Structure 1
Amino acid sequence: MTLLDTGDFYGMGNNEVLLRDAIRSRLRENAPISVKFGVLSDARGGWHGVDTRPAAVKNFLAYTLRRQGLIRRIGLSEVGAETLRRAHAVHPVSDLQIEYSLVYRGIEQDILPAARELGIGVTRIKCCPAASCRATGPPPETETGATSGPA
């Protein structure tokens, strides 16, 4: 195992607790957990945007610290080259999670060179189903006639 990836918004923080309990018997150094934060959602999981104000970041990190116990590194998700550079100037950034695929290669011009220059690792995340459909054809129809994207 090289990385367990979660977000404080998965299960309203409960996913972090489940991961912590699942790896309790392992050396913590051998079980790195990546926790994304900043997403605003309602009780049903509806999207309300992101909150990256300094006070909000402090609050999100305080809850993660309570659930996980230690923050060793920071990473960012879906940011541009300028934001990556600004963040790295404040505190070293170790990883950038970002959409990257044959369909979406926009990061190659500015973001990947900035990450290389700063020594920041890049983790490709799965592109959205709509982008996958463009590459693989339309999604199959279900019994109800609705369509679903590729898994």
Structure 2
Amino acid sequence: MAKVGRMKLGSQGLEVSLQGLGCMGMSAFYGPPKPESDMFALINHAIESGITFLDTSDIYGPHTNELLLGKALKGVREKVELATKFGIRASEGKFEICGDPAYVREACEASLKRLDIDCIDLYYQHRIDTRLPIEVTIGELKKLVEEGKIKYIGLSEASASTIRRAHAVHPITAVQLEWSLWSRDVEEEIIPTCRELGIGIVAYSPLGRGFFSSGTKLLDNLQQDDYRKHLPRFQPENLQQNQTIFDKVNELAAKKGCTPSQLALAWLHHQGNDVCPIPGTTKIENLNQNIGALSVKLTSEEIAEIESLADSVKGGRYGNEISTWKNSDTPPLSSWNAA
């Protein structure tokens, strides 16, 4: 298998692999943590294959995924571009969003320690704290860049206006957002804003949280504590309609001589040279299959056909309890200064 190529992410100088690796499922939310030795083998295989852009967060575990990566990257740190996130903290079984400057610094120091590194390549605000102006949070991140603790700043699930305001304080290198065949609402305003400002686009859950790998069969293999069991699109009232979408994608993939997940990933890779999907996996064979998507070439007619299939998705991305870019606007800076 040829090594995965490279791309420029954003316009500040960050270079990453054309496809990244989402590491969340190794430690959290998708059933129990996976065996450490298996995950070390997977990460090493990814790096050797050219997948060097690794994505984690302090809330994955919490903390255990960063600790895992810290151990896995001993001796190979310089070979990877490491992205982690702050901004969601677990408190008494609930999640709280926080972008307070003191917390930003505290979270960064803690992540550096867990990852056992001196500098984070790309540091995202995982969710936007709508209680304080985005400028206040980015101002602290800018200081961390100046101090050499982080190289580049990213945002996750931020609205177009939030991205614009943040970018005015310090250049934003990447915006992470959910983008896949069945999550395309970001194309209206957020993607064009990123492109206008020269911000890289990192697509998480590019396979619809695994749905485009096996359709409803995915649910048969989920552990009891797998978070996906609670998502709207995986509920019985929506599943039949969504399975129809999968069946059509599967049919088209068979014609192309690839798997449905490769077709769904290839579609994203064809969206532009500023897009880096970060499919997550815990299995080497799935990683190899994801890399295979880079070899699937699509014509504009095929792209249009694929897009028409997924227009009828049923159910939201999340339940109402999770904040997304749709509710990520923050108060104006003037209100903060006056307070």
Report if aligned partners of 1:95, 1:122 keep a CA contact under 8 Å in 2.
yes
Deviation at 1:104, TM superposition (A): 2.4
Q: How far 1:79 moved relative to its partner?
A: 0.6
Equivalence for 2:168: 89
Equivalent residue for 1:64? 111
Q: Percent identity?
A: 40
Superposed displacement of residue 77, structure 1: 0.8
Q: Which residue of 2 aligns with 1:105?
A: 184
Paired residues for 1:1-150 under 5 Å: 1-26=51-76, 28-42=77-91, 46-67=93-114, 68-70=117-119, 71-126=150-205, 127=208, 129-131=231-233, 133=239, 135-136=242-243
Once residues 78 and 153 of structure 2 are traced to their aligned partners in structure 1, the CA distance between those partners, rounded to angstroms, is: 15
Q: CA deviation at 1:102?
A: 2.8
Q: For 1:81 and 1:93, locate their aligned partners in 2 and report how far apart those are by CA, in whole Å.
A: 12
Structure 2 unaligned segments of length 5 or more: list them.
Answer: 1-50, 120-149, 210-230, 245-339
Between 30-39 and 122-131, the greater mean CA deviation after superposition: 122-131
Deviation at 1:113, TM superposition (A): 0.8
1:124–1:85: structure 2 CA closer, same or farther, 3 Å change rule? same
State the distance in 1 between where 2:169 and 2:113 align.
23
Superposed displacement of residue 99, structure 1:
1.1
Query: Which string of whole-angstrom CA distances, capped at 9 and with x for unpartnered residues, describes residues 47-106 of structure 1?
Result: 423112222222211212333320221211111111111111222211111112233221
Which amino acid in the other structure matches residue 135 of structure 1? N
Moved more, 55-64 or 114-123: 55-64
SS in 1 for 2:62: helix
SS in 2 for 1:73: strand
- In the TM superposition, structure 1's runs of 4+ consecutive aligned residues that sit over 3 Å from their partners are 131-134
Q: Give how far 1:111 is off.
A: 0.5
Q: Deviation string for 1:91-138 (max 9, x for gaps)? A: 22111111122332211121001100111111111146534645326x
- Larger helix share, 1 or 2: 2
Counterpart residue identity of residue 3, structure 1 = F
Q: Name the residue aligned to 1:140.
A: none
Bigger share in strand: 1
**CA shift in 2, pair 1:29/1:54, >3 Å:** same
Distance 1:32 1:19 in 2: 12
Change in Cα spacing, 1:98 to 1:16, as seen in structure 2 (3 Å) is same
Would you say the 8 A contact 1:4–1:32 is kept in 2?
yes
* Larger relative contact order (Cα-Cα within 8 Å, sequence gap ≥ 6): 2
**Does the aligned pair in 2 maintain the 1:4–1:34 contact within 8 Å?**
yes
Could you tell me whether the CA contact under 8 Å between 1:103 and 1:135 is conserved in 2?
A: no
Distance 1:99 1:47 in 2: 22
Rg larger for: 2
Letter in 2 for 1:9: I
Matched residue SS, 1:11: coil
- Aligned-partner Cα distance in 1 for 2:181–2:81: 29
- Normalised by the length of structure 2, the TM-score is 0.36
Extract unaligned runs of 5+ from structure 1: 138-151
Aligned equivalents of 2:85 and 2:94: distance in 1? 15
Kindly report the root-mean-square deviation, in angstroms, between the aligned alpha carbons of the 2 structures.
Answer: 2.2
